[in-house]
Amino acid sequence: MLIQTGASPPCSPVMAGKPPPPPERVKCVLVGDGAVGKTSMVVSYATNGYPSDYQPTTYDDYNVDVVVNGRPVKLQLCDTAGQEDFDWLRRVWYSDTDVFVACFSVVSPSSFQNVPQKWVREIREYHPQAAIVLVGTQSDLRSNVKVLIELDKYREVPVTEADARRLAHNIGADTYIECSALTQKNIKEVFDQCILSGLEARRRPPPPPPGHKKRRGWRRWLCM
């Protein structure tokens, strides 16, 4: 599947003179502990930049126009706060979400543990059928000597890719991707996957309401 960022859909002779089709919207919400790099990841993708200073996010919204197989798609990226003080506000933005990005830092074991213990539970509470993409951020720090020394003080080590893939399977995530906002490694791959997962989620039929029972077909009995 071809995904182009910031491109315009091609104009065929048949479509010449006709207005282009309206873009399909995909809403993507990023969740995860504070300071794991969610904002840096979004800024790196949406602006090709990198924020130099860490500023705790309350809520930020970015819109990126992409073309998927020749059709326009508007990707809405919602960067939410990971701090508990903003729990009530963060959940306000969960409505109509197509795909969640559950983020943790590969050099923060506690943020990794909080993915199933807090973030997936919160997602499933509001969206039992939502698509999830598991993302390990700050992959460039995995071999950073200062970071490794600091982790060693607490007898901790970076999260391994094998452990992360195992978690992705356990929580029912579509996939696991590691990335670095600083080097932009796999940043496009992360959001390409979000677009694909979001589009697929939009095409799935809605789950039946609670208490709904499937009707049984009538059986015909032929008496001889």
Indicate the pTM of the whole model: 0.85
The crossing angle, in degrees rounded to 10, of helices 38-47 and 187-203 is 90
Write down the pLDDT at residue 210.
61
Domain coordinates in residue numbering, the chain = 3-7+22-203
Write down the pLDDT at residue 219.
45
Who contacts 41 (Cβ-Cβ below 8 Å, separation ≥6)?
Answer: 30, 103, 135, 137, 179, 181, 187, 190
Write down the pLDDT at residue 12.
47
**Domain covering 3-7+22-203 assigned CATH 3.40.50.300 in the classification:** yes
Q: What is the CA radius of gyration of the chain?
A: 21
How far is CA 187 from each of CA 139, 178, 179, 198, rounded to the nearest angstrom?
11, 9, 6, 17
Backbone conformation region of residue 101, classed left if phi is above 0, alpha if psi is from -120 to 50, else beta: beta
- The one-letter code for the residue type at 27 is K
Write down the pLDDT at residue 86.
60
Write down the pLDDT at residue 51.
76
- Tens-binned pLDDT, residue by residue, of the chain (224 aa): 678 876 565 554 445 567 778 899 999 999 999 999 999 999 999 988 887 666 666 568 899 999 999 999 999 999 987 666 566 677 788 889 999 999 999 999 999 999 999 999 999 998 998 999 999 999 999 999 999 999 999 999 999 999 999 999 999 999 999 999 999 999 999 999 999 999 999 988 776 666 655 555 444 444 44
Write down the pLDDT at residue 63.
94
